[in-house]
Amino acid sequence: MEKSSRIKGAESVLNLEPNSSIAIGYHALFGSHDDLMLLEIDEKLLPDILHERVALRGQLDEDSVLCTQSKTYAIKFVGNSNSPFLVPPSGQFALCENSQDFDGEINDFAPVIKVVPGNMELVEVAPKLDRLKLLLSQNPYSYEDVLEMDFMEDVEKNKARLYNWDDLVERVQASDEELRNGLCALSAVEIDGFWRIVDEKYMDMILRMLLHNSVLNDWSLDALNEDDVVSVLVSDGFPDKLACHCLHVYGSKVDGDVGRSCVWRLDESRVCVHFARQILSTGKKKMETFMAEWLQRIPGRMQASFNMLEGEVLTEKLGVETWVYSFSVSSLPLTPAERFNMLFRERSKWEWKDLQPYIRDLKVPGLSSEGLLLKYTRRTQPTLDAEPVFSSR
């Protein structure tokens, strides 16, 4: 019988009618498929992929992640139990009539050019922002940096340990939006093109001077004119960038402007927490001693409440005395396993009212707070009306 065949592309397979068939054979260019990997994605990610709004990020010693503008995805390889065949579109390659020998007449023939061993899947994950904290904490901006501005040689040496935006993008596995949020959470500021955490002692100097100037100039802490505040702080020897940063860290903008200048209100809770941290930086104190010193340090126009210190301090009973000491959520790891490990090293058992402030900031895609507790803790409740107690799983 005379042999004839019409070589078809992928369209013939995609448009195959029910209860019909098509012959499959090897393409003349069929060969190694190790150079090919398929990526399975959700349709909502397709626009980002097609318009090149994604990037692979990770160092040589890390598993790469795929980042969109706002989310981070782990890349998982999934092997196939079956063997998916890849058939190129018509006209994609020069198709050869002798790609495979067939006995008899073949009406349609789809040539297979590759066999896919598996594919990659994307799983949304939390950004690895602990590395961001580590990088920026190595060289916080301090009063010494201001003094070094007069010695350019020292400034150039210091830059070797500084990171601009591109450096952070290269080193931190996070999307741009998550990276910006991480910088904000660390109260980082861009100085001379480099992102810096400001040393707490230096921030304390700036805040104290701002509060001192507010008394001298009769400024309302609920309506601070940015131009006035920055101008006076600069005259006191602080860089204007840091003067403005102080307002961002301890205040918030209020509606309305005074001329062309922004108006700020100092946040009572943030200011009070700052002074509590300063007092406890030297070690634990008796509750009565701490409260007396705390109330003495905060501005007279502010009201301090111990509830402000949730997630910042812990208390313990030693005999008849109650002691308070610093244990800030901001110092804990952002990965759940490491976070719970540190929490249970600090205390073997936690009541919910004490534990909740230390885990409410944990964000794990696809896992709720209840899911985190089930995964990392054991819950006990002696009676129905008793407070639940959590211990390590």
CA–CA dist 23, 13 (Å, integer): 10
- pLDDT over 90 for what percent of the chain? 64
Residue 257 has a pLDDT of 56
Residue 14 has what pLDDT? 84
Instruction: Give the whole-angstrom CA distance, residue 364 versus residue 331.
Output: 19
CB 270 within 8 A of CB 302: no
In this structure, which long-range contacts are made by residues 79-82, counting pairs with CB atoms below 8 Å and at least 24 apart in sequence? 79/117, 79/118, 80/116, 80/117, 80/118, 80/119
Give the up-direction half-sphere exposure of residue 320: CA atoms within 13 A in the CB hemisphere. Answer: 0
- Alpha helices, H only, the chain: 10-14, 46-50, 130-137, 143-148, 152-158, 165-171, 176-185, 200-216, 226-235, 240-250, 268-280, 287-297, 336-346, 352-355, 369-376
Asked if 113 contacts 88 with a C-beta cutoff of 8 angstroms, the reply is yes
Predicted confidence (pLDDT) per residue in 46-103, tens digit:
999 999 899 999 888 889 999 999 999 999 988 777 778 888 887 765 555 444 444 4
How do residues 173-188 score in pLDDT, each as one tens digit? 999 999 999 999 999 9
pLDDT in tens, 194-249: 999 999 999 999 999 999 999 999 999 999 999 999 999 999 999 999 999 999 99
Q: Record the tokens describing residue 261, joined without a space.
A: 């200048």
- Give the strand pairing for 109-112 and 72-79: unpaired
User: Exposed, middle or buried by CB within 10 Å (0-12, 13-18, 19+), for 385?
Assistant: exposed
pLDDT at position 9 over 80: no
Contact 236, 272 (CB under 8 A): no
The answer to whether the pTM exceeds 0.75 is yes
Radius of gyration of the chain (CA): 31
Phi, psi of 354 (to 5 degrees): -85, -35
Averaged pLDDT for residues 149-161: 60
Helix orientation angle between 287-297 and 268-280, rounded to the nearest 10 degrees? 130
Q: CA torsion 246→248→252→255, rounded to 10°?
A: 110
Amino acid 159: pLDDT? 64
* Cβ atoms of 210 and 180 closer than 8 Å: no
